[in-house]
Amino acid sequence: MGKLFAVLLTIITIVSATIFIRHTWWMPPDISMHGVRIDHQMAETMTASGILFVLAQLVLAGFVWQYGDRKDAPAVKRFPGGATPMVVFASILVGVEILTLTLVGSKVWAGIYQSPPDSGSLHIDVQAEQFAFYFRYAGVDGAFGGTHPEMIDDANGNFFGLDPANDTTARDDIVSGSLVIPVNQPILLSMHAKDVGHAFYVPELRIQQDFVPGLVIPLHFTATHTGKYELVCTQLCGLGHYNMKAYVEVMTPDQFAQWLKDQAAQQ
Amino acid sequence: MPESPHRPATYARETAEKITEIKHLPPQGFWRKYVFSLDHKVIGKQYLGLALVAVCTGMFLSWLMRLHLANPDLAIPGLGKLWPNGAPGGVMTPEFYLSLMTMHGTIMVFFVLTTAPFAGFGNFALPIQIGAEDMAFPRFNMMSFWVTFLAFLVLVAAFFVPAGPPISGWTAYAPLSAVGKDAGPGQGTGQLLWAISIAIFCVGQLLGALNFIATTLDLRTKGMTLARMPYSTWAWFITAVIGLVAFSVLLPACILLILDHVAGTSFFIPAGLVISDTLQPHTGGSPLLWQHLFWFFGHPEVYIAILPGFGIVSQILPAFARKPLLGPRVMIGCMIAIGFLSYMVWGHHMFLSGMNPFSATLFSVPTLIITIPATIITLLWIGTLYGGKLRFTTSMLFCIGFVSVFVSGGISGFFLAQPSIDVYLHGTYFVVGHFHFVMGVAAMFGIFAGTYYWFPKMFGRMMNETLGKWHFALTFIGVYCIFMPMHYLGLHGDVRRYSAFTDEYMKGDMPLHRFITIAALFTGAVQLLFLYNLVRSRFRGAPASENPWQATTLEWTTSSPPPFDNFGGHHPVVTHGPNEYGEQGPDGSDHIMQTAPAGR
Amino acid sequence: MSARVEPVSTPARTGVWVGIAAITLMFAAFTGAMVVRRTEADWLHFRLPPILYVNTLVLLASSAALERSRARLEAGTQWLAFTLGLGLLFVLGQILAWRNLATQGLFLATSPSSAFFYVFTAVHGTHLLGGIAALAYVLGRARRAHGFAGALGAAALYWHFLTALWLGLLLLLTLQL
Amino acid sequence: MNRFLTPTIGALALVGVATAASDAPAARPAAGTISGTVTYTGTPPKMRPIDMSKEPSCASQHTTPVMTENVVTGPGNSVQYAVVYISAGDQPGPTPTEVVRYDQKGCQYVPHVAVMRTGQGLEIYNDDKTSHNIHPLAKVNAEWNKSQPPGTPPIHASYDKPEFIAVKCNVHPWMHGYFAVLTTSHYAVSGNDGKFSLAGLPPGKYTITAWHERFGTQSAEVTVSDNGTATQNFVFKALPY
């Protein structure tokens, strides 16, 4: 009985760990400037906790194998040294690991969320709503028009509630359903929500951030590879949550300039 | 560590006087005996019964969810008749999936993982384990159960309102949960019923926690010092303290949510929201305020679900390893430390919520620090097995299984505790896998272990061990097949709470989703073995002796099931700790009962 | 058990202390929410209805009456009944305060400040009704039999806590509204 | 603001009509026709291309970009999707038994405006490969909000009270349409040339109303003689924003 269970536990442990080690399912290749450090942190954590996981499960299985079904065995054995040395050892081991991970990890975190955006960033206004994302570029005048919730009119394509009748800066704003960005240029997003909470998640960009109604949240990153990627919502926002997405198109600067021109003509 | 008999029992109190004060007579008549009973044992069983109904409901909902995830276009015959709006022609709508998810989460977290390990087993066993006749406030105790039952009815009523149950998840983030029907079907009456149900539930659990605390502090029998208290009693006591704080905060949060819903206030709803083309008439509220209040409750809630499991496992492992628990004081210290730390970490649910990024680091550190006591506890269990004479009863198997899944779930917490990795994993299936292992499966294993362990004491009959072992083995394989793959999905960026996967990069993971669905259906079906075993053993099981497991604690010194006043008119006097296994007992056995004559 | 010592605490007393902890936490949560919410622009300042100060005196008097009643247990229960009456008077006064606000056009949803006022007073009032029920229970027991000192002590502890809580709330509301 | 007010005013007007209509005299031989054109003066808002990229299964159904339909104009300043109907002087007649069909196709509502009598049946179909969500924002009638996964049976509905109901899909924010619930059987929706025609009208004096989701309502008094044809044009004032 005990031996059977020990074997079962060992098999489960080895299969689980192998799939992790072989990267059968893994993060998609990173396309961001900051992602390298996240991937590094992930690898470190995976190694450390992977060893702990396998070790703990196998020791558990080993004890179950060894000490099970001993009807006529001699008197029980105490754990060598009692609890104290083990507790001290575990505290130091885990403590050191925590300290290392925190020191390195908080730097990575600070690099993404606490660093100021590059002054030459391309500024894009992002609105999340049930159940789509809309992106606004400032247009030729380089200024965003003001937004007025009471003027939002989805039927007419006025997703941001612009007031072009009275606000001249709003007239050339470019609104798109895809996030189109030039490669290797810092991007600064101003994120706000029209209705309820949403989130911005592009796995390849290694970035995720909630939209909070009533707040404008800045987020900045730089994409390093051109291509078309999927942006999805990760904060439960209602019935269409599963279908709330947009595409991120990373273009060369020339392509991006052309795209802007084409869009401006349509507005 | 056995208690030294020479040590003055400073905490021991003369309890006989008090017991006469609260003494009540055995109940007469059906209603007093089984329904509105004041007896803690009946109330404990009532809680467990409620949890059983709730867990069956919750599992049925998860089956529907998994079926939908495996094939969103699947038409399930008959479902369209049951829910014409939610599943027209048997095909589930996205909002129906979300309402299943919301109800599954709410039912499981509140009505299973809070009621069964804490209120259920705690009510049944705590007073007996400390040698009391009953809880300190039997009337409050009865109210606690019936209020909780009412909360359950109110929640389930949401299935029967026209627009269906709420769709905003068990966390009910504002403003989605606060603005009413404009936010989607079920967000009107359904969401309101949810908030009322949870508020009522808080009242029930506060009454329960108050009872647990007062009982543990004041009703311990002679010689039952704090140091001699069984570890399960310790765990319930600590859980009661955590629960008292947590539910005291959730209740006001729910009151404010209800007011936003029905009275037009703006606690959680900011100005200028346009939902369903309607400008919402609210100003200035803060969605983050709800998140802070909710998670201040929500994280400790995880420990409310799991700490009783810690206690149960710490109590049962030594009994079936036939040797004392390693480092009992360290164990208790770690449980207290976890309870304390659980109030400093709620922000790790909100790393990406838009709160100040600096506070992410602040919340990350205590979260990681919690791994130290958690690791120590795990090592103490594993160390307890070393050199023992393991008896693989079903209860013992579930305890070892508990350790295994707790390790698995705990280690994935290591990733999520770091903001820099949470940036990638937040909102993915990795989180789902993590909390189901650590909070769902581990806590359930604790409940199973407790059931197989205390069933003889509750009903005077043994459960069937063969069925039990099959139940354990298949469940153990099943849960790993369900929840380990969720970690892989999360690593690949698959988003949780999606009713279907329409994104290209997630479509490729459908085979894995189908695998999980098959595993979930299988594991669910295995639980029918348990149900059958429960029902059969209740009526046909072999009669149980007073102490079938050769355990040391007080509940095993009285008959199975115990008489109305637990000890048949006398009060046990405690002379030993709960941990004296593997020692020559006075009667030649390998353990010393807590009530054994003092001088060895 | 010859040398009987008065127990350090009775379950009733412990229970009240635990309840006090829970109620305090609950109000702490409300206060936290209020502090967060107060920074927004839609916070409307208004003057508290003057009757609140009268109510405060009534509640203080009820606490004093309760102590007097405990000091003269043998003399009968009239002071206890008096406490009960003052408690009811306080609740009545709170309702008058609400009506006063309503006539000023300040309703629950008018502003977060008025919302918090109603919430604080309503939740406190509900707990006070619980205290009145407890006192009534003790009064009923006192009329029937002796040996109610323990229950009265616990009820008194709860009652004084509610008085103190009200003083705290009044201070908070005065400062914040 | 206009967007919110228009349906309400329309509904109020209809309620008035409904009560007036019930006093109408008994049936007369049907004969006359009112026709005309709906046009605008000024500059109307531009039709904008709809970005459907988030729903590839719909985007692939369209070769040219789909334009917004809230103001659709044609040659000669014509206005499409104006509902022209008899708002007074008509007798209601029996509720038609045929069912009005409303389709969701390529993430658009077809037709953009569905006109129906009070109490008339309505069937909503999802012809797409994606889930839609039909949310008619009724103010006078009962509001409902239902999802329709692909391959599920049509949703049946009907409305008791006259109202212009904006219809939206919560999943696809650009999808907007209207239900026009009327108490008369004499109505028409202007075509791309702005033309409409109300046939089969007994001789008499009528109030005829044109309703447009953005431009609002206009009414006129028209007299129809035996077998006669009357002409009534409507001109809306348009602003670019």
Token pair for residue A28?
């998609």
Q: pLDDT tens, A186-213?
A: 999 999 999 999 999 999 999 999 999 9
- Mean pLDDT, to the nearest integer, of B20-29? 60
Give yes or no for a contact between B126 and B315, defined as CB atoms under 8 angstroms apart.
no
Tell me which of D129 and B31 has the higher pLDDT: D129
Name residues whose C-beta falls within 8 Å of residue D191's C-beta, 6 or more positions apart in sequence: D74, D80
Which residues on C lie below 8 Å from B247 (Cβ)? 22
Instruction: State residue D11's pLDDT score.
Output: 45
- HSE-up of B283 (CA within 13 Å, CB side)? 13
Q: What is the domain range of residue B489?
A: 37-270+284-557
Contact B367/B417 with Cβ under 8 angstroms?
Answer: yes
Mean pLDDT (whole number) for C15-27: 95
Same domain, A20 and A108: yes
Residues B15/B540, Cβ–Cβ less than 8 Å: no
Check CB contact of B360 with chain A, cutoff 8 Å.
yes
0.90 surpassed by pTM? yes
Q: Per-residue confidence at A157, pLDDT binned at 50, 70, 90?
A: confident
Residues of A within 8 A of B274 (CB-CB) are 129, 149, 152, 161, 194-195
Query: How high is the mean pLDDT of chain D?
Result: 85
Residue pointed to by tokens 């999808």: D175
User: Does residue A67 carry a pLDDT above 60?
Assistant: yes
The answer to whether residue B310 is domain-embedded is yes
Give yes or no: residues A105 and A141 share one domain: no
In a domain, B275, yes or no: no
pLDDT computed for residue D13 by the predictor: 44
State the pLDDT confidence band at B521, using cuts at 50, 70 and 90. very high
Q: Which strand (E) or helix (H) includes residue A219? A: strand A217-222
Distance CA B486, CA B509 (A): 11
Q: State the pLDDT at residue D5.
A: 43
Answer yes or no: are the C-beta atoms of C93 and C87 closer than 8 Å: no
How far apart are alpha carbons B598 and B6 in whole angstroms? 10
- Between D224 and B523, whose confidence is greater? B523
Task: Provide, as residue numbers in chain B, all residues whose Cβ is less than 8 Å from the Cβ of A102.
Answer: 361, 364-365, 368, 418
Q: Which of residues 256-285 of B touch C (CB under 8 A)?
A: 256, 259, 263-267, 271, 283-285
Q: CB under 8 Å to C134, separation ≥6 — which residues?
A: C154, C155, C158, C159
| Average predicted confidence (pLDDT) for chain B | 92
Is A74 inside a domain boundary? no
pLDDT in tens, B453-488: 999 999 999 999 999 999 999 999 999 999 999 999
- Give the range among A113-117, A235-239, B123-127, B432-436 with minimum mean pLDDT: A113-117
* Percent share of chain B, pLDDT over 90: 84
Would the CB atoms of A243 and D147 count as touching at under 8 Å?
Answer: no
Question: What single string gives the DSSP state of each residue in A60-117?
Answer: HHHHHHHHBT-TT--SPPPPTT-HHHHHHHHHHHHHHHHHHHHHHHHHHHIIIIISPP
Task: Answer whether residue B134 shows pLDDT above 60.
Answer: yes
pLDDT the model gives residue B16: 37
Q: What CA–CA distance (Å, rounded) separates D233 from D210?
A: 9
Longest CA–CA span in chain A (Å) reads: 93
Counting the structural domains of chain D, the total is 1
In the three-class reduction of DSSP (H, G, I as helix; E, B as strand; rest coil), residue B429 is classed as: helix
- Per CATH, the number for C53-176 is 1.20.120.80
Direct distance between the N- and C-terminal alpha carbons of chain B, in angstroms, rounded to an integer: 16
| Cross-chain Cβ contact B91/D151 below 8 Å | yes
Low-confidence residues of chain D: pLDDT under 70: 1-30
Partner residue facing D70 (CB), from A155, A164, A243: A155
Interchain contact, B502 vs D168, CB within 8 Å: no
Radius of gyration of chain C (CA): 19
Whether B387 and A67 have beta carbons less than 8 Å apart is answered as yes
- Complex-level ipTM beyond the 0.95 threshold: no
Give the closest-approach CA distance of A236 to chain D in angstroms.
14
Cα–Cα distance between B155 and B173 in angstroms, integer?
17
* A28 and A134 inside one domain: no
* Interface-testing mutation among D4, D46, D50, D54, with chain A (most A C-beta atoms within 10 A): D54
Q: What's the pLDDT band for A145 if we cut at 50, 70, 90?
A: very high
On the CB side of B86, CA atoms within 13 Å amount to 28
Phi, psi (deg, nearest 5) at residue B212: -60, -45
Do A162 and A60 lie in one domain? The reply is no
Hey, how many other C-beta atoms are within 10 angstroms of the C-beta on D155?
19
Look up the domain containing D164 and give its range.
Answer: 2-23+31-238
Nearest neighbour of B276 by CB, restricted to D135, D152, D155: D135
Mean pLDDT computed over B263-280: 93
Q: A92, A114, A136: which is the final residue of a domain?
A: A114
Listed residue (B250, B248, B254, B287) closest to B271, CA to CA: B287
Read off the pLDDT of residues C127-166 as tens digits, 9 standing for 90 and up.
Answer: 999 999 999 988 888 777 666 777 888 999 999 999 999 9
Any domain includes A145 = yes
**Chains D and C are touching, with contact defined as 3 or more CB–CB pairs separated by less than 8 Å:** no
What is the C-alpha separation between C159 and C131, in angstroms, rounded?
A: 6
- Do chains B and A have 3 or more beta-carbon pairs under 8 angstroms? yes
Whether residue C123 and residue B259 make contact (CB cut-off 8 A), yes or no, is: no
Looking at chain D, which residue has its C-alpha nearest residue A246?
Answer: D54
Pairing outcome for strands D195-201 and D32-42? antiparallel
Question: CA nearest A162 in D: which residue?
Answer: D241
The pLDDT of residue D30 is 59
Q: Number of folded domains in chain A?
A: 2
Cβ–Cβ contact B321 with A under 8 A: yes
Does an H or E element contain D220, and which? strand D216-224
A257 touches B at CB < 8 Å: no
Give me the number of domains chain B comprises: 1
For A230-234, B312-316, D143-147, which range has the lowest pLDDT when averaged over its residues? D143-147
Residue of B213, B245, B292 to mutate, testing the C interface (most C Cβ within 10 Å of its Cβ):
B213
Q: Is B365 on the interface with A (CB under 8 A)?
A: yes
CATH of the domain at D156: 2.60.40.420
Strands D113-117 and D176-182: parallel
CB burial string A107-126: b at 16+ within 10 A, e below: ebbbebbeeeeeeebbbbbb
Question: Does residue A49 lie within any of the structural domains?
Answer: yes
C11-38 and B231-262 are packed helices; what angle lies between their axes, rounded to 10 degrees?
40
What is the pLDDT, as a whole number, of residue B511? Answer: 95
Whether residue A133 sits in one domain with residue A250: yes
Is residue B218 within 8 angstroms of chain C, CB to CB? yes
Q: Are B260 and B319 in contact (CB under 8 A)?
A: no
Contact across the interface for A132 and D214, Cβ inside 8 Å: no
User: How many residues make up chain C in this entry?
Assistant: 177
- Between chains, do A154 and D71 touch, taking CB under 8 Å as contact? no
Say how far residue B254 (Cα) sits from the centre of its chain.
20
For residue A213, what are the domain limits? 122-266
Contact by Cβ (8 Å): C173, C30? no
pLDDT value at position B593? 92
Tokens 């990173």 sit at which residue? A30
Taking CA–CA distances from D168, the nearest residue in chain B reads B276
Query: Does the pLDDT at position C175 exceed 70?
Result: yes
> B139, B36 in Cβ contact below 8 A?
no
Q: Do chains C and B touch (3 or more CB pairs under 8 A)?
A: yes
Chains with 3 or more CB pairs closer than 8 angstroms to D? A, B
The token pair that represents B475 in the structure block: 């469940």
Is the distance from CB of A130 to CB of A238 less than 8 angstroms? Answer: yes
Question: Three-state secondary structure along C50-77?
Answer: CHHHHHHHHHHHHHHHHHHHHHCHHHCC
Average pLDDT over residues B273-283: 92
Domain assignment of residue B53, yes or no: yes
In a domain? residue B597: no
Q: Based on C-alpha coordinates, what's the Rg of chain B?
A: 24
CA distances from B592 to B322, B557, C97, D54 (A): 11, 12, 65, 70
| Domain shared by A127 and A246, yes or no | yes
DSSP conformation class of B110? I
pLDDT digits (tens, 9 = 90+) for B74-120: 999 889 888 888 898 899 999 999 999 999 999 999 999 999 999 99
Q: Which of residues 540-579 of B touch A (CB under 8 A)?
A: none
Confidence of residue B589 (pLDDT cuts 50, 70, 90): confident
Q: Testing the interface with B: which of A59, A241, A248 to mutate, by most B Cβ within 10 A? A: A241
Query: Do the Cβ atoms of B185 and D168 come within 8 Å?
Result: no
Which CATH number does the domain housing residue B426 bear? Answer: 1.20.210.10
Instruction: State the average pLDDT over residues B329-335.
Output: 96
Q: What is the pLDDT of residue D22?
A: 40
* DSSP class of B54: H
> What secondary structure, in 3-state letters, does B515-562 show?
HHHHHHHHHHHHHHHHHHHHHHHHHHCCECCCCCCCCCCHHHHCCCCC
As to burial, measured by CB atoms within 10 angstroms (0-12 exposed, 13-18 middle, 19+ buried), residue A47 is: exposed
Considering Cα of A155, then A161, then A166, then A168, what sign does the dihedral take? negative
Q: Does the beta-carbon distance from C40 to B249 stay under 8 Å?
A: no
